Structure 1
Amino acid sequence: MIFGLMMLAITAATDASAAPSPTADALQADLQTAYACKEIDGRKVWKGGLAYYIQSYVYDGQSTDDATDVATDAVLPADNAPETMREFEEACLTLAPTAINGN
């Protein structure tokens, strides 16, 4: 009985909502289907199904002209503060793709 109560307490203490982080391959595939949002602080932003993505900082000597070679950082809700996630949600809210109806 005591062992059962201890296991119940341990199980209750763990966060059941904590999902494992997506793999790099999953994030790369997600980025390929993400849609563009408004920029944040002059950096391009995209929204995918798994994460938001933001253009990596550009350092001296790096070119930003090649649109096919943009480095990005994944922004995962579990890794960021609620205020940060709201900023990304707002940037993508008005540019979300709309469903096309046959009407």
Structure 2
Amino acid sequence: MFIGLIFLAATTATSVPAAQEPTADALQSDLQTAYSCKDIDGRKVWKGGLAYYIQSFVYDDGTPDDAGNMATDAVLPSDNSAETMQEFEQACLTMAPTASTSN
């Protein structure tokens, strides 16, 4: 009986579908409503509902002032270490928008 329960638990665990990654369209829409956070290593950071976003450069010699050379990368928990995600959480922690108390 005990072996049967282990087998049942093992087969149940393998049949659970993995969470789907957001689509490019969903991430683009999310970025448009994301709020600004503190910079990380001189690059702009935003927090959306689906991911964090960080400024990236198309060319290695890019600078933050070169808007034509700038892109944005999505930072998803499934693609990054816990340490990396903690760095993004800290950058956005103090910059979170607050709810307005006036009507």
TM-score clears 0.5: yes
Secondary structure at the counterpart of residue 38 of structure 2: coil
2:13 corresponding residue in structure 1: 12
2:54 corresponding residue in structure 1: 54
1:22 corresponding residue in structure 2: 22
Secondary structure at the counterpart of residue 90 of structure 1: helix
1:65 corresponding residue in structure 2: 65
8 A Cα contact 2:47 2:92, kept in partner: yes
Secondary structure at the counterpart of residue 46 of structure 1: strand
Same amino acid, percent of matched pairs: 67
Structure 1 stretches of 5 or more lacking a match?
none
Could you tell me which amino acid in structure 2 is paired with residue 43 of structure 1?
Answer: R
Calculate the TM-score normalised by the size of structure 1: 0.79
Aligned residues: 100
CA gap 1:15/1:41 in 2 versus in 1, 3 angstroms: farther
Q: Distance in 2 between matches of 1:74 and 1:102?
A: 34
Could you tell me which amino acid in structure 2 is paired with residue 19 of structure 1?
Answer: A
Calculate the TM-score normalised by the size of structure 2: 0.79
2:3 corresponding residue in structure 1: none
- Per mean C-alpha deviation after superposition, the further-off stretch among 38-47 and 70-79 is 70-79
Q: Distance in 2 between matches of 1:52 and 1:40?
A: 12
CA gap 1:99/1:84 in 2 versus in 1, 3 angstroms: same
CA gap 1:69/1:46 in 2 versus in 1, 3 angstroms: farther
Secondary structure at the counterpart of residue 56 of structure 1: strand
The ranges of structure 1 where at least 4 consecutive aligned residues each deviate by more than 4 angstroms after the TM superposition are: 5-8, 66-69
Structure 2 stretches of 5 or more lacking a match?
1-5
